[in-house]
Structure 1
Amino acid sequence: MHLRQSITIPAILLSLCLATSAARADGPVPIAAKGSWRLIFEDSFDGPELDREKWTTCYWWNKDGCTNLGNAELQWYRPENVTMSEGLLRLTARRQKAKGIEDRTFDYTSGIVTTGRDYDELPRPSRVRFRYGHVEVKAKVPAGKGLWAAIWLLPETRKSRPEIDIMEVLGDSSSTLRMHYHYLDAASEKKSVGKDVETSDLTANWHVYSLTWDADKIIWYLDGKEVWRHTDVPTISSEEMYLLLNLAVGGEWAGAPSKTTKFPSAYLVDYVRIWQRDDG
């Protein structure tokens, strides 16, 4: 989902660290990553509504909604499209007109959640940010041309790079798992690497998407199995980053929805977990 320091843990993250210290022995552990891990963030979406201490429902440029014009996306993200029921987070795309930036009319609405911050919150740090760790998300993505589900990381600096795309699935080619890493090289030139992995139809079942980010490597996993790694150490980000999950509609990459694309369509999330190494 491309957009054109030392660790400082905010108060909520400190409390999460303390509350989940027992997770080293008794709590959830990564299904993929080896080693000793400390759970620093978890949401299983069991409550009646989204926990706004953990999540916001737009990019940091939120002004009564938001979109990503850099990708020429067709949706306007709205908080109403982010709901919870039956222990699941639902990011729902609808064929629905909405007034957005500069009085533009968008033909679709959809949902996004991030552990970042809203425009009005910019003096404060992101809700949850981290440098290095392991991210795990259990999710079910929707089918249909023009639907673009993603899990990704952006830097605390609010710049567009580095960006780590943990998962991207296009609804009309849903047997392909797409992963990318966008960064600046030593000369501050924009660079990108990526890999497409052919799979079974990812829209047919639930899957666990995960990523280990260390100082010397980034590893991508599907259902606990490694599918790609990046080991060019000088290019690996050491910046604090925050997490995003979203369902885009259209854009230069996904293309416009077709007549057969079903609306509403929902991107379902069972849980989100983030760990950091606790092995000394």
Structure 2
Amino acid sequence: MVAISLSAVPAIGAVQDDLDGAPGTMSLQVTTDPSMIECRKLETVNPASLMFLPLRRTFNEDFDEHPLSGGRWVPHYAGGAAWPEARYWGGDGSDFKRKTSANGEQQIYVDPRYTGRASAPLGLDPFKVKDGVLSIVASRTPQELKSVLFNNEYISGILTTQGRFAQKHGYFEIRAKVPVGHAVWPAFWMLADDGGWPPEVDVLEGRGERPGDLVMTTHWRIPSTQKIQSCGFDFAVGDASSTFHNYGVLWEEDRLVYFIDREPVSDIKVPIGFDDPMYLIVNLAIGSKFFVGVGPVDAESPPSVAFEIDRISAYQIDMEQARR
């Protein structure tokens, strides 16, 4: 089942916590209307169905300092595309942990200690912090470093919390500006902490060649057939590249609800296989061979582009407060 369509974000008009902050506790407005289908876009929401869900913060990164200085982020995959048997494979002598080749990506994820094929760290840093905003910067690979960096067209960055933070159920959110450009593919997503794939929750993906077109998708596997299933929707956020917006997902026992600026925009019944805690990933990929709106690198691709991130947060549902 795949359901993809484009819609404007609905205006619910409810009072919410300040979007630019991540308080220790907050309330999230959700709809109590039961879903009559497995996966749906919430084009209209019945105001009478809305309730406030109390949340307690469990993770918050304001990026007031370099993301690698605090020990809570890892600048690469633990093992390729997170296949269980490859979780800890790969090292600096390859780009195995530094891209997802199956996607047709043409960047390599670097950090100041990464050596590539060299004998010493290359000192490449795609992470820039200014005024509490992290910029993950993708730039053309210098010609003199092409062979050292496995002939990848771009250098860029990824941050994951695998082995550092993972959580089952709750609300997960990024506040960011979404970059645009030919072959530009920013994302904020989640994978199972056991290293398996799927499940996968794509809280935010940007189609770089379609400014303002953002995608939120759930992926899972059917055990009887081993086939991968996906369901998601595109949403139009016209100023997404110039203005900070909040993109989040609420993971409950029975459903996943996607949010833009803390207003619900779609939901799906939790598919089979969502049994383990999930960790967070934020990255700026360059190039794709299948993701619509992100093509391969060519002369139109920008020499440099930045994914600006103000904050990443996670919350647990405060069940004690919810029962009151």
Match of 1:29 in 2: 26
Structure 2 contact 29–53 (Cα < 8 Å) conserved: no
Once the two structures are superposed, residues 115-151 of structure 1 have per-residue CA deviations (whole angstroms, 9 ceiling, x without a partner) of: 11xxxxxxxxx10011111011110121101000101
The number of aligned residues is 244
Q: 1:241-260 CA deviation, whole Å, 9 max, x = no partner?
A: 10000000001122123434
1:54 and 2:72 correspond: yes
Q: What SS does the corresponding residue of 1:84 show, helix, strand or coil?
A: strand
Write out aligned runs for 1:34-183 (5 A).
34-48=52-66, 50-61=68-79, 63-64=91-92, 66-79=98-111, 80-97=125-142, 98=145, 104-116=150-162, 126-183=163-220
Cα separation, 2, equivalents of 1:91 and 1:238: 31
Query: Deviations for 1:74-101, whole angstroms, at most 9, x for unmatched residues?
Result: 0000011123222111110001145589
Measured against aligned partners, the alpha-carbon deviations of 1:197-232 in whole angstroms (never above 9, x if no partner) come to 23314212111111101110001111122111102x
Change (3 A) 1:47 1:55: same
The letter of the residue matching 1:167 is: L
> Alignment partner for residue 240 of structure 2, among 202, 227, 238?
202
Structure 1: any 5+ residue segments left out of the alignment?
1-25, 117-125
Q: Identify if the C-alpha distance between structure 1 residues 275 and 93 changes in structure 2 by more than 3 Å, giving closer, same or farther.
A: same
Distance in 2 of aligned mates of 1:78 and 1:209 = 26
Q: Secondary structure of 1:70's partner?
A: helix
Indicate whether 1:265 and 2:272 are aligned: no
Residue 262 (structure 2) pairs with residue 224 (structure 1) = yes
1:191 aligns with 2:229: yes
Indicate how the Cα distance of structure 1 residues 239 and 86 shifts in structure 2: closer, same or farther if over 3 A, else same.
Answer: same
> Match of 1:275?
315
1:35–1:279 Cα contact (<8 Å) kept: no
Q: What is residue 16 of structure 1 aligned with on the other side?
A: none
Indicate the SS of the match to 1:149: strand
Report deviation, 1:240: 1.1
> Structure 1 residues 83, 255: CA separation in 2 closer, same or farther (over 3 Å shift)?
same
8 A contact 2:184–2:286 mirrored in 1: yes
Give the greater-gyration-radius structure (CA).
Answer: 2
TM-score with structure 2 length normalisation? Answer: 0.70
Mapped contact 2:161–2:281 kept (Cα < 8 A): yes
CA distance in 2, matches of 1:201, 1:258: 25
1:147 and 1:170 in contact (8 A); partners too: yes
After the TM superposition, which parts of structure 1 deviate over 4 Å for at least 4 consecutive aligned residues?
30-33, 97-101
Point out where structure 2 has 5 or more consecutive residues left out of the alignment.
1-22, 31-51, 80-89, 112-124
Tell me the C-alpha RMSD between the 2 structures: 2.1
Whole-Å separation in 1 of the counterparts to 2:24 and 2:59: 12
- Aligned mates of 1:269, 1:32 — CA distance in 2: 23
Aligned to 2:309, what secondary structure does the other structure show? strand
CA shift, 1:261, in A, is: 3.3
Q: What residue number does 1:235 align with? A: 272
For 2:193 and 2:67, how far apart are their aligned partners in 1? Answer: 26
Which residue identity lines up with residue 288 of structure 2 in the other structure? G
Q: Partners in 2 of 1:43 and 1:29 — Cα distance?
A: 16
CA distance in 2, matches of 1:234, 1:71: 23
Q: Which residue of 1 aligns with 2:285?
A: 248
Amino acid at match of 2:279: Y
Contact (CA 8 Å) 1:134, 1:212: kept in 2 or not?
yes
- Identity over the aligned pairs, expressed in percent? 28
Mapped to 1, the partners of 2:147 and 2:190 lie a distance apart of: 25
Query: TM-score normalized by structure 1?
Result: 0.80
